[in-house]
């Protein structure tokens, strides 16, 4: 799967065969085992020049869905490798090994942390920024985590907003033009008047037009004001910048559906199925298409299969009846 990453990062990444005469900077080692009905695996990233273990991760899938396990491993490997290259090529800061390992652990789990526990992400990257204050990569991820707290439950609490203001000010003292700081400004503004709010939202993307962490925020802002073509273009660029990201591809399919481009959404789904065959998020995207505009009978079969995961599965009798009633009416 990392070959997909190389295609979009050819200037920064070159994969070499294990028997190549060219000595690689990094080596990724993989191991796995079956445990009952489940599966376990581990990854290690080694600095080949120093012979140092930089990061290791353990992965498990109790249900035995190896497609999901492969997806987790490939995406984690891609993010860790990307972060390692950034950290070891940082211009202003020589990062100690312990700090680098902490940073890479945060990178590997960043997507899950932002979705489930952004405060834990803040703790990790705040410590990295404290130990390596001139490392811009740590500040970028720290600001993203603070912004995610603002967007979650309790985000309107004065302490949460003040924490973000403080982080933005700290980051700007070192990096006046850091794109994530402008994203923080946008989060702190009231969403009205729309014209002023949109100007601030657009600033971080003007700094880094292909930043896959910023594009989803800009896409959401565009769709909130009805600029559906522009929102879809943002999600397309996010996929091109981060081609292994399941969430980026899901967002593109959703944007296409919202924009009424059904066949384009189906074509994009086929690409996701080719990249991640059998993965749960691909089944969820299939369900979303069939549920809204596609084959209602197929959507019902997927819903009853129990394979969608908690996010897409009704949690009460009333919700289940509503979903099934809607599908029956469409049929």
Q: For 63-119, write each residue's pLDDT tens digit.
A: 667 888 889 899 999 999 989 988 888 777 789 999 999 999 999 989 888 888 999
For the chain, the first-to-last Cα distance in angstroms comes to: 38
Per DSSP, the three-state class of 192 is coil
Q: Is the pLDDT of residue 267 over 90?
A: yes
- Residue 64: its pLDDT value, please? 63
Q: For 80-92, write each residue's pLDDT tens digit.
A: 998 998 888 877 7
Q: Is the pLDDT of residue 9 over 80?
A: no
Q: Report the distance separating Cα 11 and Cα 191, nearest Å.
A: 38
The CB density around residue 156, as the number of other CB atoms within 10 Å, is 8
Handedness of CA 224, 285, 262, 74 (dihedral sign): positive
- Higher pLDDT pick, 17 / 134: 134
pTM (two decimals): 0.86
254 falls in which pLDDT band (50, 70, 90)? very high
Distances (CA, A) of 151 to 145, 148, 157, 252: 10, 5, 11, 21
- Reported as type and span, the H/E element at residue 142 is helix 136-151
Distances (CA, A) of 91 to 94, 132, 140: 8, 12, 15
Q: What are phi and psi of 100, to 5 degrees?
A: -60, -40
**Residues paired with residue 45 on neighbouring β-strands, in sequence order:** 28, 55
Distances (CA, A) of 326 to 90, 268, 320: 54, 26, 10
Q: What percent of the chain has pLDDT over 70?
A: 98
Tell me the average pLDDT of the chain: 90
Q: Is the pLDDT of residue 301 over 80?
A: yes
- Reported as type and span, the H/E element at residue 87 is helix 66-88
């Amino acid at each position: 799967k990392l070959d997909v990453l190389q295609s979009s990062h050819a200037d920064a990444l070159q994969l070499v065969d294990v028997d190549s005469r060219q000595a690689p900077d990094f080596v990724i080692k993989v191991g796995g085992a079956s445990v009952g009905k489940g599966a376990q695996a581990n990854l290690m990233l080694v600095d080949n020049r120093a012979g140092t273990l930089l990061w290791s991760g353990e992965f498990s899938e109790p249900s035995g869905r190896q497609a999901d396990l492969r997806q987790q491993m490939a995406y984690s490997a891609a993010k860790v490798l990307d972060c390692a290259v950034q950290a070891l090529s940082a211009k202003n800061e020589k990062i100690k090994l312990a700090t680098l390992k902490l940073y890479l652990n945060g990178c590997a789990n960043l997507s899950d942390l932002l979705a489930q526990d952004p405060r834990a992400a803040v703790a990790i990257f705040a410590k990295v920024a404290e130990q390596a204050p001139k490392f811009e990569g740590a500040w970028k991820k720290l600001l993203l985590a603070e912004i995610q707290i603002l967007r979650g439950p309790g985000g309107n609490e004065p302490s949460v907003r003040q924490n973000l203001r403080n982080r933005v000010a700290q980051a700007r003292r070192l990096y006046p033009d850091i794109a994530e700081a402008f994203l923080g400004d946008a989060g702190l503004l009231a969403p009205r008047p729309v014209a002023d709010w949109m100007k601030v939202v657009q600033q971080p993307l003007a700094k880094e037009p292909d930043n896959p962490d910023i594009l989803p925020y800009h896409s959401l802002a565009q769709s909130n004001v009805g600029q559906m073509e522009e929102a879809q273009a943002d999600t397309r660029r996010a996929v091109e910048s981060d081609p292994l990201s399941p969430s980026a591809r899901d967002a593109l399919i959703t944007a296409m559906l919202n924009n009424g481009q059904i066949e384009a959404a189906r074509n994009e789904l086929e690409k996701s199925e080719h990249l991640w065959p059998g993965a749960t998020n691909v089944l969820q995207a299939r369900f979303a298409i069939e549920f809204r505009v596609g084959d209602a009978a197929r959507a019902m079969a997927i819903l009853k299969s129990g394979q969608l995961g908690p996010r897409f599965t009704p949690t009460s009798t009333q919700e289940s009846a509503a979903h099934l009633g809607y599908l029956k009416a469409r049929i």
